[in-house]
């Protein structure tokens, strides 16, 4: 590899060099060679110590991921920092939920087993920040999975660059990462201000509107650091939905919400004492445009399926839980579903993690949801694994900006975005139902 070409430009410790030389095992040598090479690509002058990692490479996308994980295991790989795992390709607790081929099942399982053999914590969730322990403010970590990255940086104030498959596990094995990007204080200041103050107060914290705000921010911001001015107090689930949408439509890895997120007590602090590179006023018309972006059914927002907002459109699937559902979200969902149980013609799936599943089981909520026809899936996600039983080509409804972004390409459904209540009521009717208070 190109590691030798970067040895003169990247400052390495004696321990780094020992790993490169194979003195700490073949897997550590492979991981360090990749990290040093990537440090050169990033333009990093040095590596830094990390205190944790979150791995996205455990999700099966093809044989290369399995081959690489097998190589690391054969080389004696063990993670050197506490390391959690993102979603895999299977629900290990409920294998009957998998609807793919036996070959894909076997390869997805082998990949998940490899990462477990390396000493990773098998939480299998895209929302590790809603489990414990989680990174503290200012802590250096190497996290992959776009929504986890933006939450760690923004809501927790931890420090991570954008990491993807292979680089994430290399950082975990070595305990090191390139000192670049959002690891460094000077790169964390806000650049683009999104001024939400002209929006009605109720819009600025409404949980169903936050994904639309996030999606709009991602589209207009790209990979710059946005500052949200005028956002009303939002809970963690609202902030995770906003960040996940922004990371899907753009490449947002950090946002500052003035008066809410830890590095933004004031606008001046969020901007690092400098002027904004761009100032964007967001009005109701912009927000409506963001909502339209989250629905791919032709004519949505104009006249689809017989109504001004698509009322009457047949709904085939309701999918929730991207990022994974939290106990608070289940507490909101359960009474809605009990009042409005889904029709037998509608497939209703919620994705979550094992911690939330445990809370749901202890409260009796899991049994009640299943009795009403709701499937609760753990360890994986409907847009990255063959979970849905309904044939592609229909309409999927969701309250998730991330699901809305990826479902058309990944699972072949057109998407309608709506509030949680709208999703539940639409599942009961089998046709799109709009809340007249939200869609006057």
Q: What average pLDDT does the segment 70-85 reach?
A: 98
pLDDT in tens, 320-334: 999 999 999 999 999
Q: Is residue 229 part of a domain?
A: yes
Clarify whether residues 7 and 105 are in a common domain: yes
Do 348 and 427 form a contact (C-beta atoms < 8 A)?
Answer: yes
Clarify whether residues 201 and 171 are in a common domain: no
Q: Which spans in 231-363 are helix H?
A: 236-249, 267-270, 284-293, 327-339, 354-363
pLDDT at 302: 46
Q: What average pLDDT does the segment 12-26 reach?
A: 97
Question: For the chain, what is the domain count?
Answer: 3
| Residue 311 binned pLDDT confidence (cut-offs 50, 70, 90) | confident
Q: Is residue 164 part of a domain?
A: yes
Clarify whether residues 162 and 240 are in a common domain: no
Q: What average pLDDT does the segment 194-219 reach?
A: 91
Cis amide bond preceding 236, omega within 30 = no
Clarify whether residues 345 and 289 are in a common domain: no
Clarify whether residues 177 and 193 are in a common domain: no
Write the DSSP symbol of residue 277. S
pLDDT at 312: 84
Q: In whole angstroms, what separates CA 17 from the centre of its chain?
A: 34
Q: Are strands 414-417 and 395-398 parallel, antiparallel or unpaired?
A: parallel
Clarify whether residues 259 and 344 are in a common domain: no
pLDDT in tens, 107-126: 999 999 999 999 999 999 99
Helix, strand, coil percentages in the chain from 3-state DSSP, rounded to 5: 40, 15, 45
Clarify whether residues 175 and 211 are in a common domain: no
Beta strand segments in 200-338, E? 226-229, 256-257, 278-281, 317-325
- End-of-domain residue from the set 156, 181, 206: 181
Clarify whether residues 327 and 276 are in a common domain: no
Distance CA 35, CA 238 (A): 35
Tokens of 343: 């029709």
Structural domain that includes position 63? 3-181
Clarify whether residues 194 and 171 are in a common domain: no
Which pTM does this prediction carry? 0.95
Distance CA 83, CA 90 (A): 19
Q: What is the CATH number of the domain that holds 341?
A: 3.30.499.10
Clarify whether residues 271 and 419 are in a common domain: no
Q: Please state, in angstroms and as integers, the Cα–Cα distance from residue 212 to each residue in 127, 359, 415, following that order.
A: 20, 29, 14
| Residue 1 binned pLDDT confidence (cut-offs 50, 70, 90) | very low
């Amino acid at each position: 590899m190109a590691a030798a070409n970067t040895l003169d430009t990247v400052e390495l410790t004696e321990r780094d060099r020992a790993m490169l030389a194979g003195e700490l095992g073949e897997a550590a040598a492979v991981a360090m060679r990749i990290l040093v090479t990537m440090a050169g690509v990033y333009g990093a002058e040095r590596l830094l110590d990390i205190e944790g990692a979150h791995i996205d490479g455990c999700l099966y996308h093809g044989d290369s991921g399995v081959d690489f994980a097998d190589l690391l295991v054969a080389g004696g790989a063990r993670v050197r920092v506490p390391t959690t795992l993102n979603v895999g390709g299977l629900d290990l607790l409920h294998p009957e939920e998998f609807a793919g081929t036996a070959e894909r099942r076997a390869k997805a399982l082998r990949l998940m087993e490899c990462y477990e053999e390396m000493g990773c914590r098998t939480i299998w969730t895209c929302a590790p920040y809603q489990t414990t322990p989680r990174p503290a403010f200012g802590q250096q970590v190497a996290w992959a999975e776009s929504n986890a990255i933006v939450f760690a940086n923004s809501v927790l104030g931890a420090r991570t660059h954008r990491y993807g498959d292979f680089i994430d596990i290399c950082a975990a094995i070595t305990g090191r990462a390139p000192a670049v990007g959002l690891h460094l204080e000077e790169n964390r200041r806000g650049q683009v201000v999104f001024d939400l103050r002209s929006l009605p107060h109720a819009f600025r914290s409404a949980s169903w509107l936050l994904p639309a705000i996030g999606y709009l921010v991602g589209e207009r911001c790209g990979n710059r650091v946005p500052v949200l001015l005028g956002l009303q107090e939002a809970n963690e689930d609202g902030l995770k939905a906003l960040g996940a949408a922004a990371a899907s439509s753009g490449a947002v890895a950090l946002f500052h919400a003035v008066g809410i997120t830890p590095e933004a007590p004031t606008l001046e602090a969020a901007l690092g004492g400098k002027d904004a590179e761009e100032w964007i006023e967001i009005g109701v018309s912009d927000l409506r445009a963001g909502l339209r972006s989250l629905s791919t059914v032709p004519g949505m927002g104009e006249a689809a399926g017989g109504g001004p907002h698509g009322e009457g459109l047949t709904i085939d699937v309701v999918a929730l839980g991207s990022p994974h559902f939290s106990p608070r979200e289940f507490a909101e969902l359960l009474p809605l579903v009990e009042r409005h149980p889904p029709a037998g013609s509608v497939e209703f799936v919620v994705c979550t993690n094992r911690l939330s599943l445990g809370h749901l089981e202890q409260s009796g909520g899991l049994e009640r949801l299943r009795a009403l026809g709701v499937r609760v899936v753990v360890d994986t996600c409907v847009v990255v694994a063959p979970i849905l039983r309904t044939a592609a080509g229909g309409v999927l409804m969701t309250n998730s900006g991330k699901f809305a972004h990826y479902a058309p390409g990944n699972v072949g459904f057109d998407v309608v975005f709506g509030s949680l209540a709208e999703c539940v009521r639409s599942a009961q009717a089998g046709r799109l139902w709009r809340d007249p208070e939200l869609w006057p």
